[in-house]
Amino acid sequence: MNRNIVKWINNRIRELLIFCLIKIPNLTFTIFIGIIIFGVVEIFIIFGESYNIKQIKDCHKFTIGNLISNDRTLKNREIDFEYFVNGYRYTGISKSYPFQIPIKQILVLYPCADPSFSQMMLTPEDFKEYNLPYPDSLKWILPYIENK
């Protein structure tokens, strides 16, 4: 599932819970409903992510992406990136990395069937997650990882 959609869903859930807290006087009922809604969304996210990871493992491609975050030197922040497939622009959000990313262009992995889901590929752990060999062309990043 596209991480932008996940963020949108989480924002709508927060708005719904705030609305319920204001409009429904019974706090216990509101909390109960909030937990149920949150649980359903989390299940949806988990199954969506699992499905996308399976799609990538079945058939995947690589492309070059560009970091579009305001400050790519910040540590422990999600990083926005963009990439193009068949002339269409896609965006993604990377996981947090505990080191500064010293580059602007990155390697992006996406499933053949749905290029809107993607994964920024930078560390050996990123490649291990998909049972892919770590390329020699990225070994220059290893000192940055070790010097977190």
Size (the chain), residues: 148
pLDDT > 90? residue 113: no
Low-confidence winner among 25-34, 72-81, 88-97, 132-141 (lowest mean pLDDT): 72-81
In whole angstroms, give the CA distance from residue 15 to residue 97. Answer: 29
pLDDT band at 84 (very low <50, low <70, confident <90, very high): very high
R_g over Cα of the chain? 18
28 within 8 A of 36, measured Cβ to Cβ: no
Share of the chain above pLDDT 70, in %: 70
| pLDDT of the residue at 62 | 87
pLDDT > 80? residue 81: yes
29 within 8 A of 74, measured Cβ to Cβ: no
98 within 8 A of 141, measured Cβ to Cβ: no
| pLDDT of the residue at 87 | 92
* Comparison of pLDDT for 5 and 59, the residue scoring more: 59
| pLDDT of the residue at 5 | 66
Question: What is the phi/psi pair of residue 71, to 5°?
Answer: -135, 100
- Domain residue ranges of the chain, discontinuous segments joined by +: 3-55, 59-146
